[in-house]
Structure 1
């Protein structure tokens, strides 16, 4: 006789195991820092570098009191997606990556731990995974909080290898492979008084503008709804509002753009949109029925990135 179906293993594994995995996932979500880069002038750019900018670097300004034995350069991603490395040379330089192999629930603490590691590591060493100590220094403790990032945007990964050094064949092949996959990107220069970080990317058949904003998600969504209802949620001719995504406690509006127009041609339309958005953010009256419909529609097209 065959085995009773009652005693047959259920698909998907043991129920107790599934419940334990579910509890672990909920606990991890509870421990995740909702807005890890809050309080830093570079918050919006840090979020952009962490989530979607392919290749960029910036020399960091370390806080007073940090034992700054070496220059530290923040990078989108390092070879092998390691957390940090120290480049050998006459003046060894520390490099810290924000797109890493195994991020923790607090990426800002990971970066702080990586920065401190670069100050004592031997030239040529690399740190695969940063281990931030509970209650240890935060990124706000390690960096000058009011200093914006002075970014250098790259269209390749040649900076992985010091100038004048011939990379070994494996590294050269990795750089070439990464170069083939990279999408041209740039940060729009909207003036010193601009808010947030507006990043343009050429995706081939279309271009996009992803504008990381520092306002609370709710306030920004209400302002976007007001603009949508008034027909002003765009960057003018050749643009279309595509949606938004939530990440690291911030809301990022995304626009589809005409790919035949150069990135610099979008600076003026983006600045004008920024002015309209500021006016909408200043409105305190409740939403009208039409604006509420716009808000609900915008929320239905919203994506959350973990």
Structure 2
């Protein structure tokens, strides 16, 4: 079985009861794993660790609105992973017999990887029209995790959509609750594009209305990444050129996600080359084993204090 990284019960671990629960449910800790009588399973703080697709999965889980990708399943029926399904279902078999599992779901489980594995196993056996609203509780055994069911070395390239019409088979009109859910989901979409450039992975341009952002899920350990970013910041190189500025970062499922503000008048593809150049600078800085200078240490403290919240 894949290695698990756990976060134990608060408050002795230092989890702020008012902060989002590390399980990824979207609820505050005090209303989820920290609630009296709440979920008691161990929280896996880095659920996708060990998968080459880890960074992309985090992006799809946290901020990409509408996207699908074929999962690199080792054996059995091919299943498509979707950012979100109608009614936030954990899984469904579309009317044309295409099986889907949803990534953006409400859960009180402490291990998103385990829940996804259960949904994947369900989708491989379910019939056309079947829906899995939520993943059920543990049955007491040692269940599979996503790392056990997928080719761990396989990378993924999600296909992004401007709406959620792919919920329906081609030529089919939505009705009832599905139509309402589709309308609401389409209204909430922020235009999003995946940057396509050599060495640039899990980097997404997002149009937030008043400005655009680049959100880039990085695979490096947080402390090592902060050191590298501090080296660049001290040299004035932690940006993507004119029309950009480093805004801050947030943590998601064990990894750090730096964010840059961008001039929204520029198209997403215009940021691909600057992102490639920034990625090269980061790799060079990551390779350095020299101690940080005074200026770099000050820059590092500044970076550490610039935590942001997604809206």
TM-score range, shorter chain: 0.7 to 0.9
RMSD: 2.2
1:135 aligns with 2:146: no
Structure 2: gaps (5+ residues): 1-29
- The equivalent of 1:54 in structure 2 is 65
User: Normalising by the residue count of structure 2, what TM-score does the alignment of the two structures yield?
Assistant: 0.84
1:34 aligns with 2:66: no
Q: 1:289 aligned to 294, 304, 308, which one?
A: 294
CA deviation vs aligned residue, 1:37-83 (integer Å, no higher than 9, x gap): 111111000000010000000111211xx3x1x33110000001111
Q: 2:126 aligned to 118, 121, 129, which one?
A: 121
1:302 Cα deviation (Å)?
1.9
- The equivalent of 1:151 in structure 2 is 158
Q: 2:34 aligned to 3, 9, 25, which one?
A: 25
CA deviation vs aligned residue, 1:199-251 (integer Å, no higher than 9, x gap): 11111110000000100011001111111111111000000100001111100
- The equivalent of 2:99 in structure 1 is 94
Q: How does 1:7-22 map to 2 (within 5 A)?
A: none
1:219 aligns with 2:224: yes
Q: 1:240 aligned to 245, 258, 261, which one?
A: 245
Cα distance in 1 for residues equivalent to 2:203 and 2:296: 25
Change (3 A) 1:165 1:203: same
Change (3 A) 1:132 1:93: farther
Change (3 A) 1:121 1:249: same
Q: In terms of mean alpha carbon deviation, does 224-233 or 26-35 score higher? A: 26-35
Change (3 A) 1:132 1:233: farther
1:231 aligns with 2:236: yes
1:196 Cα deviation (Å)?
3.8
CA deviation vs aligned residue, 1:259-284 (integer Å, no higher than 9, x gap): 00000000000000001101110111
Q: Secondary structure at the match of 1:242?
A: strand
Q: In terms of mean alpha carbon deviation, does 140-149 or 204-213 score higher? A: 140-149
1:253 aligns with 2:262: no
